[in-house]
Amino acid sequence: MRVIAVAALTAWFAAGALAKEPAGAPTLTAAQIVEKNVDARGGLPAWRKLETMVWIGHMETASGPMPNLPFILEQKRPNKTRFELNAMGQRTVRVFDGERGWKVRPDHEGSSSAQPYTAPELKFAHDAQAIDGPLIDYAAKGNTVSLEGVEKIEGRKAYRLSVKLASGEIQTVWIDAKTFLDIRYDRKS
């Protein structure tokens, strides 16, 4: 009986040792992850030369008839955007020129008209951080970044970063642990 107890304890300690990362495995800080992210994007000097960018992706929603909504986001420095969302054959467009914004949404009859942004929509557009996003030059923008953990995103290990903007808004960014490229953003809309 005593041999079984010793064997069980030995197996338990061995399993615990195997479950942990190997000793000496480097753990990265949030600042190091951001630095590797900037390098993976081509480095800060090259990134600053970008004048326009297009993102093609999808928004996830927990409610509504379509859980994934395809979008196209076009950006131009310093802070101009055009965002197009297609849902169930209807197109919504939002345009921001750096100071003012307009939106075109279909109504219940299917027609649409341009409306100016509301004050909260203008704040949201100003907080978007444009082409650079919240990580590039984060300290100069007054943003703070903290490492919240490591998760699997679509089967890939990713660092989950919490970014507090100078405005107080919190965004979450996931950085692929292998490529150090952004793989997901969460931001309240």
Q: Are 157 and 177 in contact (CB under 8 A)?
A: yes
User: Residue 82: is its pLDDT beyond 80?
Assistant: yes
Q: What are phi and psi of 125, to 5 degrees?
A: -65, -40
pLDDT level of residue 88 (50, 70, 90 thresholds): confident
pLDDT of residue 60: 73
What is the overall mean pLDDT for the chain?
A: 82
pLDDT of residue 7: 35
Percent with pLDDT over 90 in the chain: 51
| % helix, strand, coil for the chain, step of 5 | 20, 40, 40
Q: Are 78 and 98 in contact (CB under 8 A)?
A: yes
Domain ranges of the chain: 27-49+131-189, 51-128
Give the pLDDT confidence of 120-149 residue by residue, as tens digits. 999 888 888 788 889 999 999 999 999 999
Q: Are 125 and 117 in contact (CB under 8 A)?
A: yes
The total of other beta-carbon atoms located within 10 Å of residue 110's CB is 8
**For 159-187, what is the mean pLDDT?**
92
* CATH value of 27-49+131-189 in 3.10.450, 3.40.50, 1.10.490, 3.30.470: 3.10.450
Give the pLDDT confidence of 90-121 residue by residue, as tens digits. 888 999 999 999 999 877 676 678 899 999 99
Give the pLDDT confidence of 54-73 residue by residue, as tens digits. 989 887 776 666 667 889 99
pLDDT of residue 8: 36
Q: Are 158 and 177 in contact (CB under 8 A)?
A: yes
